[in-house]
Amino acid sequence: MACGAIKLLHSISSQKSNYNESIDILKKGNKFNLSEGSKLELQILEIITDIKLNDFANARKKLDKILKLKNIPQSIRLQADELSGMM
């Protein structure tokens, strides 16, 4: 439930083009006691937001960190691979 609320707040601030606030929300959200899969989902959203901010170096660094992980959910792996292909 907490992950869904964080995603909703991120979506609202992103629609208002307030990407720095979106990043803040995601970073604060990662401090909650969420499952590893939920934390990875928030990290993917953070990468997408970095790309919208044209911060490709930071996005690539975070993406590489996720791609090096083992035993991550297939949906996260697919999203990470897709983002990697776009960059």
pLDDT tens, N- to C-terminus, the chain (87 residues): 678 888 888 888 888 888 888 888 888 888 888 888 888 998 999 999 999 889 999 999 999 999 999 888 999 999 999 998 887
Provide the whole-model pTM.
0.84
Q: What is the largest CA-CA distance in the chain?
A: 35
Q: Which CATH architecture has domain 2-86?
A: Alpha Horseshoe (1.25)
Q: Which long-range contacts (CB under 8 A, 24 or more apart) does 46-52 make?
A: 47/83, 48/83, 49/10, 49/14, 49/19, 49/22, 49/23, 50/23, 51/83, 51/86, 51/87, 52/14, 52/19
Domain range summary for the chain, segments of one domain joined by +:
2-86
